[in-house]
């Protein structure tokens, strides 16, 4: 309607203007009869329609209008549409209509069932914003560049369900804001924010959206604009008056973060009994205590319990028994469990198993299992076969909140040292609700009277609990619970925001197992070690008052004066920066936060790294993140650097820098960088807070000087790499095909063109280097350069098509023919075993066909990228299938005859496919002569354009070519093909990531940060965590202490470093060690030996300064920013037993 009014208005305006203009031009009184006006009106409305359409496409529409708010109460309309639950989503093919100007704008919203929309007076305002967010009601396509990491976790189907989901969040304090952030980043269809209260200074401790200017405004209204910036594809609206249960019918899931139990019970029962049921979540944060309750209805179908890929195995043998024994090759351990269902395929001989019928596994072992099947009368197993797990859905029956309060069932545990804590907290939260209902306010921090009243209420509730009555109540814990009950702490909000956000995704999609049904958590260990004085927790009229009410003003001062180094400002880094700013860390003149990251912002970052916006793409991450963090808290004292923390930047991050730090926070995405920072923290004895995520999983590790082991003390085993011969000749899964495809891509389009340019830049130097090398690698390099400049040089786009077509024949026909000629299907190994036995798969050559879309897609991508390397213009018809097919059919493909004596590498330990030859030198000389001849034929200034693989640009044809190469190879070996997205995940080595896991990890780390900066906490106070939000699983445990080495009355760990000052001589060093009962027999610096007791001439060095010896013998240049030198000393005791001592540092300045 709004567009119709716009057109009508513009048309009327044009009619009047046109009439006046004509009268003016003709200089007469123009006859404005009804007919003339009518005709002019029609003409002008047409012009107006054209102009409106032009404006529609010309004006930017992605970003929402700043400050535009949709308030359901003030407009008296129901703008959000109810979508059916997950069961309906699977089977329904209906459409949901969105009211718009014309019927043509009523489009299908995915497969979300049918519903009606009734809009009142100002519904057009809501629809206007909906159109901006959702593109005129069309189901939004998944932006794979933006959501690639999330797609790797959820898959397309889950994402589509999310895109059709409407969510209500009631309570916009810190927890509500965190949940909203995570869901908006995930890309739900709409989020409605409900809150009747106004922003208080108190809220600034936990809600990163609010600023001092928002105090006094409605919380929901104050949140809309900044939340909208996170994702313009999500419709964000508000409710600011009392919520009624009837309004809940507009949503798939409703979340309450600030609601009394009585009202929650009413709302939950409405949601539970609604058809279809509405998922209900109640979450509370009270100081260092938190709770979550989930009710997804009487019957909730979990489609995918854990989100893991179905496990598979390659069959080696199957017995004709009852039950049958299935053995698999020892290529990889089987992950089957007893009771799993599996299906068989490609089994030869015992073909009865290929019927697709799921069969139950029992007696699962690492490389075998038995079937609950009698195969006695089946055909005898011959060879081959794949066994694949069949993932089963799970039906859950949720209780209502009223029922679950009385009979909560099993609580989800997070810390097994607190196994008795959940029942007590179940009681505590009920007592707090009763306290607030009676007193009209929360207990006052530090008030013993309020704490005793809450304890009394808890005791009364416990007495009436019947069989669920607790034998003993920990009053000390309830006292701590009462003191912090009013506060919403940012780290707790971040942690629970991740947990609850993930539960909402489960509710809307059926992906992953829901939390069933209560989860309680506390982190009382984060409190200061010294008892808090009541005066210390009184409010100071500051933004940190909520945090002060829990931790006291003394710890708050320590937080503000901390000196913190954060390495990385990506997904983890953005969350950490937000948390630190909210906590007040480094927010005084004495404090300082240094962040560093050498990366720049890419589009794929925006779905998780919430401090960045699309206009920041290409800018430095650390700079943008620091700026965004200061907008959250202007007092944050932060310096942003773009240096990679590495040995090369130790002039930037020098000794003085490290020695001045209180704590280091890692926000990194690779192990090598983590290990380097770990070594620096060890060296300077600084606490390191480590965390990481992988899909729905996250872990945290606390590295505390002298208390815990360091990060590098225990490592995961290295990832198993497929042997080179498997990748190049004997692939048996799509990963092998994609590894090969990426290797070929880089060889053809990056390495060879770069090698060509290296030769052309300096021919004489290049050829001299090849002669000096004189090996198989040099020979291969020369052959590739000659091939590129001579036999395969392209001058026209048709040449590029020819090259791609001939490569197809080489890769997918000729090489396979040669392989099967050298090793026929009946070939045997030297032991007489069949050569083509599992896991090897016998290949078949492909016959090219321009009618095959896969073949033609390969030609298109290959020829376009080949043209790019040669700087050849790409014609408009390059991606036209018909014209491309005509061009490729012109290519003459020579016949191929397999040759005898061709060596194909089959050794799994081989590291190169190139074979050395005694006459490599002579061959290289001949190749250099040929190369010089090719060079003479090149046009002046000829250079190639190497292409560096970029996975996150879907328009560059990189992934098109890699996916096509991999899928053609998969066809050769009868391996199931994958789509381009799946190929991108594997070949691009994309790490799956979602905002919820990141938020949870950083929240947990910041709870540990309180302990680190308070100082004085014991090992048992710290927690390392592993969590899997998909299951859900939370496993918290004390860190492992470091290994202690003892000698005489001394002991030390990896954390110790022995320091000698005053520029000692070699004799001084030896005597210093002797005084400790240690006899040094070797002292080295770097790779040079400064002293060895076996060498008599080394005794002449006794009176030389150690630093002078290092300069003289080891050629060490000590930079001006360093005032010490490190040496490694090998010692033994008086009984000649070797003793590992700490590193020794010699201070000379």
Query: What are the Cα distances from residue 584, in Å, to 31, 288, 383, 498?
Result: 75, 17, 66, 21
CA dihedral 429, 431, 434, 440 (to 10 degrees): -80
Distance CA(730)–CA(841), nearest Å, equals 7
Number of neighbouring beta carbons within 10 Å of residue 851: 9
- Rounded Cα distance, 1050 and 444, in Å: 50
For residues 560 and 462, the answer to whether their CB atoms sit within 8 Å is no
In whole angstroms, what is the distance from residue 614 CA to residue 630 CA? Answer: 19
Nearest alpha carbon to residue 77 among 115, 114, 136, 126:
126
Query: Looking up tokens 């009142």, which residue turns up?
Result: 120
Cα(561)–Cα(590) distance, integer angstroms: 5
CB distance 662 to 670 below 8 Å: no
Dihedral in degrees, nearest 10, Cα atoms 345, 347, 353, 354: 40
DSSP letter string over 917-955? -TTHHHHHHHHHHHHHHHHHTSPTT---------TT-TT
Q: Report CA dihedral (405, 410, 415, 416) to the nearest 10 degrees.
A: 130
What distances in angstroms separate CA 696 from CA 124, 294, 521, 724, 1004, one per listed residue?
Answer: 39, 19, 19, 32, 15
Largest distance between two CA atoms of the chain: 124
Alpha carbon separation from 938 to 71, 701, 749, 931 (Å, rounded):
70, 59, 19, 11
Given CA atoms 1074, 1079, 1081, 1084 in this order, what sign does their dihedral have? negative
Q: What pLDDT is recorded for position 87?
A: 35
3-state secondary structure of 743: helix
Q: Six-digit token pair at 757?
A: 């340019």
Per-residue pLDDT reduced to its tens digit, 412-457: 999 999 999 999 999 999 999 999 999 999 999 999 999 999 999 9
**Residue indicated by tokens 């995930």:** 186
Please report which residue ranges of 600-733 form alpha helices under DSSP H: 621-632, 655-659, 671-684, 724-729
**Phi, psi angles (nearest 5°) of residue 373:** -145, 150
Closest by CA to 868, choosing from 964, 955, 941, is: 955
Going through 1030-1110 in order, the beta strands assigned E by DSSP cover: 1033-1037, 1045-1047, 1050-1052, 1057-1060, 1079-1085, 1088-1092
- Listing DSSP states for 220-258 in one string gives HHHHHHHHHTT-TTSEEEEE-S---GGGGGG-SEEEESS
CB 920 within 8 A of CB 776: yes
Nearest C-alpha neighbor of 969 from the set 823, 744, 820, 812: 812
Q: Which residues pair with 317 in a beta bridge?
A: 327
pLDDT value at position 913? Answer: 60
User: Looking up tokens 């519903």, which residue turns up?
Assistant: 115
Distances (CA, A) of 163 to 87, 192, 629: 16, 15, 29
* Distance in angstroms (rounded) separating the CA atoms of residues 1136 and 1129: 15
pLDDT attached to residue 915 = 54
Question: Does residue 276 have a cis peptide bond before it, meaning omega lies within 30 degrees of 0?
Answer: yes
Q: Pick from 283, 275, 386, 372: which is nearest to 325 by CA? A: 372
Q: Is the dihedral of CA 1134, 1139, 1142, 1147 positive or negative?
A: positive
Closest CA to 744 of 860, 865, 854, 642: 865
List % helix, strand, coil for the chain (3-state, nearest 5): 45, 15, 40
Q: List strand residue ranges (DSSP E) for 550-681, in order.
A: 563-567, 592-596, 638-641, 663-666
pLDDT of residue 42: 47
The confidence score (pLDDT) of residue 914 equals 57
Which contiguous run of DSSP H or E holds residue 345?
strand 341-345
For helices 475-483 and 448-463, angle between their N-to-C axes, nearest 10 degrees: 130
The residue ranges of the chain whose pLDDT is under 50 are 1-10, 12-35, 37-139
> How many angstroms separate the CA atoms of 822 and 843, rounded?
12
Helices (H) then strands (E): counts for the chain: 35, 31
Q: What does the DSSP 8-state code read for residue 367?
A: S
Contacts of 577 (CB under 8 A, 6+ apart): 566, 569, 595, 611, 625, 626, 628, 629, 638
Q: Model's pTM, two decimal places?
A: 0.85
Q: Any idea how long the chain is?
A: 1149
Residue 361 DSSP SS3? strand
pLDDT, tens digit, for every residue of 596-651? 999 999 999 999 999 999 999 999 999 999 999 999 999 999 999 999 999 999 99
Catalytic residue flag (residue 725)? yes
- Of 732, 682, 731, 728, the C-alpha closest to 708 is 682
How do strand 394-396 and strand 300-302 relate by DSSP bridges? antiparallel
Coil, strand or helix at 616: helix
Catalytic annotation, pick one of 260, 328, 725, 1085: 725
Q: Which residues contact 395 (CB under 8 A, 6 or more apart)?
A: 299, 300, 301, 302
Pairing of strands 253-256, 235-239: unpaired
Helix (H, G, I), strand (E, B) or coil at 520: strand
Nearest to 511 by CA among 519, 500, 522, 502: 502
State the Cα–Cα distance between residues 199 and 213, nearest whole angstrom.
10
> Phi and psi at residue 318, in whole multiples of 5°?
-140, 130
pLDDT of residue 1105: 93
Contact 99, 119 (CB under 8 A): yes
Residue 58: its pLDDT value, please? Answer: 35
Give the per-residue pLDDT at 443. 97
**Which strands, in side-by-side order, build the sheet including 1024-1028?**
638-641, 592-596, 563-567, 663-666, 688-694, 697-703, 1024-1028, 1033-1037
Per the CB < 8 A criterion, the answer to whether 844 and 866 are in contact is no
Angle between helices 776-789 and 763-773 (to 10 degrees): 150
pLDDT value at position 84? 33
- Listed residue (472, 301, 313, 478) closest to 394, CA to CA: 301
């Amino acid at each position: 309607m709004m567009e119709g009014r716009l057109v009508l208005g513009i048309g009327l305006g044009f009619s009047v203007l046109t009439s006046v203009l004509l009268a003016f031009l003709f200089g007469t009184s123009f006859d404005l009869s009804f007919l003339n006006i009518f005709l002019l009106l029609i003409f002008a409305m047409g012009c107006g329609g054209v102009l409106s359409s032009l404006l529609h496409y010309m004006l930017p529409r992605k970003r929402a209008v700043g400050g535009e708010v949709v308030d359901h109460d003030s407009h008296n309309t129901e703008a959000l549409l109810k979508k059916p639950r997950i069961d309906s989503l699977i089977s329904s093919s209906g459409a949901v209509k969105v009211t718009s100007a014309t019927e043509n704008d009523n489009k299908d919203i995915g497969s979300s069932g049918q519903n009606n929309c009734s809009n009142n007076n100002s519904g057009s305002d809501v629809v206007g914003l909906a159109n901006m967010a959702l593109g005129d009601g069309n189901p939004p396509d998944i932006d794979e560049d933006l959501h690639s990491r999330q797609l790797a976790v959820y898959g397309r189907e889950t994402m589509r369900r999310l895109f059709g989901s409407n969510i209500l969040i009631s309570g916009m304090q810190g927890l509500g804001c965190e949940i909203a952030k995570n869901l908006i980043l995930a890309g739900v269809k709409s989020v409605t924010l409900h809150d009747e209260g106004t922003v208080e200074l108190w809220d600034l401790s936990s809600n990163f959206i609010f600023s001092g200017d928002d105090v006094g405004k409605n919380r929901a209204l104050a949140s809309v604009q900044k939340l909208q910036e996170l994702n313009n594809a999500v419709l964000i609206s508000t409710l600011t008056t009392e919520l009624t249960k009837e309004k809940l019918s507009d949503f798939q899931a409703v979340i309450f973060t600030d609601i009394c139990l009585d009202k929650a019970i009413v709302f939950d029962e409405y949601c539970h009994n609604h058809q279809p049921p509405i998922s209900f979540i109640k979450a509370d944060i009270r100081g260092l205590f938190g709770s979550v309750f989930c009710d997804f209805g009487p019957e909730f179908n979990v489609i995918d319990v854990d989100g893991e890929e179905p496990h598979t195995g390659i069959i080696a043998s199957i017995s004709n028994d009852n039950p049958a024994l299935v053995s698999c090759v020892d290529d990889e351990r089987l992950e089957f469990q007893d009771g799993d269902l599996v299906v068989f395929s490609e089994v030869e001989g015992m073909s009865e198993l290929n019927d697709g019928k799921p069969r139950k596994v029992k007696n699962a072992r690492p490389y075998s299992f038995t079937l609950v099947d009698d195969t006695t009368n089946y055909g005898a197993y011959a060879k081959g076969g794949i066994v694949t797990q069949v993932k089963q859905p799970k039906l859950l029956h949720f209780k209502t909140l009223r029922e679950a309060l009385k009979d909560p069932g099993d609580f989800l545990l997070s810390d097994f040292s607190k196994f008795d804590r959940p029942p007590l907290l179940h009681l505590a939260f009920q007592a707090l609700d009763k306290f607030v209902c009676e007193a009209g306010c929360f207990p006052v921090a530090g008030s013993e009277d309020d704490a005793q009243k809450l304890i009394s209420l808890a005791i009364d509730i416990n007495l009436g609990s019947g069989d669920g009555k607790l034998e003993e109540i920990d009053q000390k814990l309830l006292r701590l619970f009462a003191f912090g009950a009013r506060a919403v702490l940012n780290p707790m909000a971040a942690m629970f925001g991740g947990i609850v956000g993930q539960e909402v995704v489960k509710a809307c999609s059926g992906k992953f197992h829901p939390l069933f049904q209560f989860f309680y958590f506390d982190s009382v260990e984060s409190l200061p070690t010294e008892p808090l004085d009541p005066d210390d927790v009184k409010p100071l009229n500051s933004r940190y008052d909520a945090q002060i009410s829990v931790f006291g003003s003394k710890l708050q001062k320590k937080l503000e004066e901390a000196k913190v180094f954060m390495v990385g400002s990506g997904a983890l880094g953005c969350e950490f920066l937000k948390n630190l700013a909210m906590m007040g860390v480094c927010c005084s003149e004495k404090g300082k936060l240094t962040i560093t990251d050498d990366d720049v912002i890419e589009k794929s970052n925006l779905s998780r790294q919430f401090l960045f916006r699309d206009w920041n793409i290409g800018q430095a991450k650390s700079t943008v993140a620091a700026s965004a963090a200061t907008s959250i808290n202007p007092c944050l004292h932060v310096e942003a650097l773009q240096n990679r923390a590495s040995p090369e930047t130790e002039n930037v991050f020098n000794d003085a820098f490290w020695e001045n730090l209180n704590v280091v926070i890692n926000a990194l995405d690779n192990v090598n960088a983590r290990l380097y920072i770990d070594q620096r923290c060890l060296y300077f004895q600084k606490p390191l807070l480590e965390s990481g995520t992988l899909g729905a999983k996250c872990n945290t590790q606390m590295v505390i000087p002298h208390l815990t082991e360091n990060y590098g003390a225990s490592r995961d085993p290295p990832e198993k790499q497929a042997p080179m011969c498997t990748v190049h000749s004997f692939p048996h899964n799509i990963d092998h095909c994609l590894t090969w495809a990426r290797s070929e891509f880089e060889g053809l389009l990056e390495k060879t063109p770069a090698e060509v340019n290296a030769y052309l830049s300096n021919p004489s130097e290049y050829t001299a280097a090849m002669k000096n090398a004189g090996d198989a690698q040099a020979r291969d390099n020369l052959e590739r350069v000659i091939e590129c400049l001579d036999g395969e040089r392209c001058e026209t786009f048709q040449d590029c098509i020819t090259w791609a077509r001939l490569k197809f024949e080489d890769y997918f026909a000729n090489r396979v023919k040669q392989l099967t000629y050298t090793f026929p299907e009946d070939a045997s190994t030297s032991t007489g075993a069949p050569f083509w036995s599992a896991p090897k798969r016998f290949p078949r050559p492909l016959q090219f066909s321009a009618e095959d879309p896969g073949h033609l897609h390969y030609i298109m991508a290959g020829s376009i990228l080949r043209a790019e390397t040669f700087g050849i213009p790409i014609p408009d018809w390059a991606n036209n299938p018909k014209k491309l097919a005509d061009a490729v059919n012109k290519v003459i493909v020579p016949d191929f005859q397999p040759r005898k004596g061709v060596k194909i590498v089959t050794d799994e330990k081989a590291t190169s496919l190139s074979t050395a030859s005694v006459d490599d030198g002579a061959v290289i000389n001949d190749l250099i002569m040929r190369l010089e001849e090719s060079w003479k034929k090149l046009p002046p200034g000829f250079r190639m354009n190497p292409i560096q693989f970029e996975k996150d640009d879907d328009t560059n044809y990189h992934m098109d070519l890699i996916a096509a190469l991999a899928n053609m190879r998969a066809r050769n070996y009868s391996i199931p093909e994958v789509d381009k997205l799946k190929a991108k995940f594997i070949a691009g080595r994309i790490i799956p990531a979602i905002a919820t896991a990141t938020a949870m990890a950083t929240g947990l780390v910041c709870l540990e940060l309180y302990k680190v900066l308070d100082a004085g906490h014991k090992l048992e106070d710290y927690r390392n965590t592993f969590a899997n939000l998909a299951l859900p699983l939370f496993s918290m445990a004390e860190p492992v202490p470091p290994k202690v080495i003892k000698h005489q009355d001394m002991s030390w760990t990896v954390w110790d470093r022995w320091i000698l000052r005053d520029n000692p001589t070699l004799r001084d060093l030896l005597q210093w060690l002797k005084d400790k009962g240690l006899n040094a027999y070797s002292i080295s610096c770097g790779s040079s030996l400064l002293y060895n007791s076996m060498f008599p001439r080394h005794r002449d060095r006794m009176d030389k300064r150690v630093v002078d010896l290092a300069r003289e013998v080891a050629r060490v240049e000590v930079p001006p920013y360093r005032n010490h030198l490190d040496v490694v000393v090998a010692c033994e005791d008086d009984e000649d037993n070797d003793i590992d001592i700490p590193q020794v540092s010699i201070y000379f300045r």
